Structure 1
Amino acid sequence: MGTPVTAPISVQLYSVRHELADLDATLERLATAGAQAVEPFSVYDRPAELAAAAAANGLSIPTAHAPLLSDTMRFSGREVPVPPATAAFGAARALGAAILIDPMVDADRWRTADDVARTADRMNALVEPAAAEGLVVGHHNHTFEFHHRIGELTAYEHFVSLLDERVALELDVYWATAAGEDVPALVERLGSRVRALHLKDAAKALDVFAARGEYDPAVLTQCALGSGNLQNDAALAAAPAQCIPVIEFDHVGGDVLTSIAVSIAHLRAAGSHHADAAGAIA
């Protein structure tokens, strides 16, 4: 651990969800800002078009999100059925992604050992079918995975202990911090399982999920990397060299593409990105 990052700097496309109406122009601006990769927030949203636009702008798509562990998801105030995992695998292949990550498992499924075991079993059952398609499956956290304890461990770390070692973890630094975790220490404990980190800064991370219910993303007061107090640099330094740094904002004041460019510049200046990779985007 603590070795220079050699993975590409990526941007979670949820950050620019409003700008994606003009897909080509937005990806061109991300590439100009220094991004080397992007992470789709839904593999089902124009995968062929997105793959072509990314390639045209020199951007790879190493990771992507798709709901793999739920039968339904809440969308625009209603429950909608989730396509089967095989559909997600096909869309991920169309994107050229290598790691397919479940973005959110409902808070009610992290309360007891049985709840956690059922989710872990469901994830483990996808490992071999995904491998047959050339994919790795993974999980992305929020805060509620840390709200309950199973024995001596948080529900999150208990979940990890039950997973097939081939399952990837995408640790969100903001949400883990909001849940009260020492994130660099957590990254050290998780070790090589951490394949990607979601990075965003703030003066203080807020656990909006503790209150349950809807929230305005503006209350998160997220800002460009290096502008706040979160331990993004330390978390990245503690991660494996091949861990992908993924810049993401749920909401940021001003022009989000400017905040992304500032964040990329911070990663370079902080020395947390390998010199060869930095030179490739200079």
Structure 2
Amino acid sequence: MPSSLMSRRNALKLTVAGIGTMLAASKGLIPTAHGGTYSMKPHAYKDNLGIQLYSIRKQLLESAGDAFEKLAAIGYQHVEWFDVTSLDTLAPLAQSHGLPITSAHVLSPYITGNKLMQAVIPDDLNSPEKLIEKLNKFGINHLVLSYIFDDERQHIDQYKTLSEQLNRVGELSKTAGIQLCYHNHDFEFQQLNGQRPFDLLLSELDHENVKFELDVFWAKYAGLQPDELITSLADRCALLHLKDLKSMPSTHATTHTPADEAMFKPVGSGIIDFEKILSAAKQVGVDNVFVEQDHNTGHIFEDLQSSFNYLQTLNIK
């Protein structure tokens, strides 16, 4: 990489870091080891709840300004982006409503460089270096691989290749002050060629350069206890997705079973024990937690308000 480009990036990183520090201080937050923030208030997660914007993808298309205003009014403190192609147009709007962006999701082609599949990558994001530069522009300090497509996970060896690719991008990201993370679904916990892909990822991924964003819904759906998994991951668990599960699928232990939309519930209205989860998160030092609701059967902002209100009632130890 040309030294002049690296110099520009370093200067940009320092500038954004300063802005990020001021924004964090204004919201009563302090930095964490993974590059995230903790609230200086007694309950770090309850007073510093984030929201994954995939939850309101339809509302962002209708009126992004109104959507951000409603999130801020509920009490959410920061957001996790789900479509990096919209950063230039919508990120300033989110920030103007007091919602800094602390994390961003990308699909696999942004990390692997594989065929575009369902992703359309613009020229200004068509390499890991360009993606990292874009995140630095907006002070985003976590980058998350959100999903890998079906044809990328047909054999365990594909996860070995993916681990190598994640390690390379993770090293680039870390140098730029950004923590790369892998977001799970349920299929990583199912046997593939005699091995659980999640176990391979644990073995192959660099402990510092690639952390995990644990989605507690999908972990529970796969038959695990999310709080125990958080404890076992320890400092390798940097982020959490909080969403509730209506009930367990009958085939979770042996087969990847797509979740029906009705299975996704507001936090506190399903079977997941969030008090245990957030207590475990506090013990291991998880940076940030994000409420997410992939699907809803009612009014999404009412559901997000319900999730927020419920989380305020928890006794996090």
Using the size of structure 1 for normalisation, the TM-score is: 0.83
Identity %, equivalent residues:
27
Query: Would you say the 8 A contact 2:166–2:205 is kept in 1?
Result: yes
Shift of residue 175, structure 1, vs aligned partner: 1.0
Query: Where does residue 18 of structure 1 map in the other structure?
Result: 58
CA-atom RMSD, angstroms?
2.7
Q: 2:277 aligns with which of 235, 243, 262?
A: 235
Mark the CA change 1:205 to 1:100 in structure 2 (over 3 Å): closer, same or farther.
Answer: farther
Mark the CA change 1:35 to 1:148 in structure 2 (over 3 Å): closer, same or farther.
Answer: same
User: Residues 178-230 of structure 1: CA distance to partner in whole angstroms, max 9, x if unpaired?
Assistant: 11112211111111111111111122154799467xx68524x3221111112
Higher gyration radius (CA):
2
Aligned: 1:157 with 2:207? no
Query: Where does residue 314 of structure 2 map in the other structure?
Result: 270
Letter in 1 for 2:278: L
Query: Would you say the 8 A contact 1:148–1:155 is kept in 2?
Result: yes
User: Residues 52-79 of structure 1: CA distance to partner in whole angstroms, max 9, x if unpaired?
Assistant: 122211112111111323513543xxx7
Q: Which has the higher helix share?
A: 2
Give the count of matched residue pairs.
262
Which runs of 5 or more structure 1 residues have no equivalent in the other structure? 274-282
Tell me, in whole angstroms, the C-alpha distance in 2 between the residues paired with 1:70 and 1:252.
Answer: 33
Higher relative contact order (CA closer than 8 Å, sequence separation 6+)? 1
Aligned: 1:105 with 2:142? no
Within 5 Å, which residues of 2 pair with 1:140-219? 140-148=183-191, 154-166=196-208, 167-206=210-249, 210=255, 218-219=261-262
Tell me, in whole angstroms, the C-alpha distance in 2 between the residues paired with 1:9 and 1:69.
Answer: 31
Shift of residue 176, structure 1, vs aligned partner: 1.2
Which runs of 5 or more structure 2 residues have no equivalent in the other structure? 1-41
Letter in 1 for 2:94: A
Using the size of structure 2 for normalisation, the TM-score is: 0.74
Query: Would you say the 8 A contact 2:50–2:291 is kept in 1?
Result: yes
Shift of residue 262, structure 1, vs aligned partner: 1.1
User: Residues 101-158 of structure 1: CA distance to partner in whole angstroms, max 9, x if unpaired?
Assistant: 010123454455422221111111112211232211111111111111677x632022
Letter in 1 for 2:95: A
Shift of residue 247, structure 1, vs aligned partner: 0.7
